[in-house]
Amino acid sequence: MENSIYTAGQLGKVLRGRRKSLKLSQTAAAKIVGLLPKTISGLETTPERSSVESLFKLLSALELELVLRPKPFVKGKESRSKW
């Protein structure tokens, strides 16, 4: 499963979807990597308010990795957008 994520809201939805696909509760996911369930909830609902460290811990619990790559260039279209 690959997802292109352009907003914080999209990130939260992808994280929640992955957790549910693994049949993990927020509590179970939190226990795997030593986070609090409220931290998992925060990453899923308002990820822009969460720490990068917590994000990486949750990614680990969900068996996901973060890959950054340049956006493809589209002639005549600005590729930079505001977060």
| pLDDT (tens digit per residue) in 32-52 | 999 999 999 999 999 999 999
What is the pTM (predicted TM-score) of this model? 0.85
CATH of domain 8-61: 1.10.260.40
Question: Quick count: other Cβ atoms within 10 Å of Cβ 4?
Answer: 8
Helix (H) or strand (E) holding 54: helix 52-61
Query: pLDDT at residue 7 above 60?
Result: yes
Question: Quick count: other Cβ atoms within 10 Å of Cβ 43?
Answer: 27
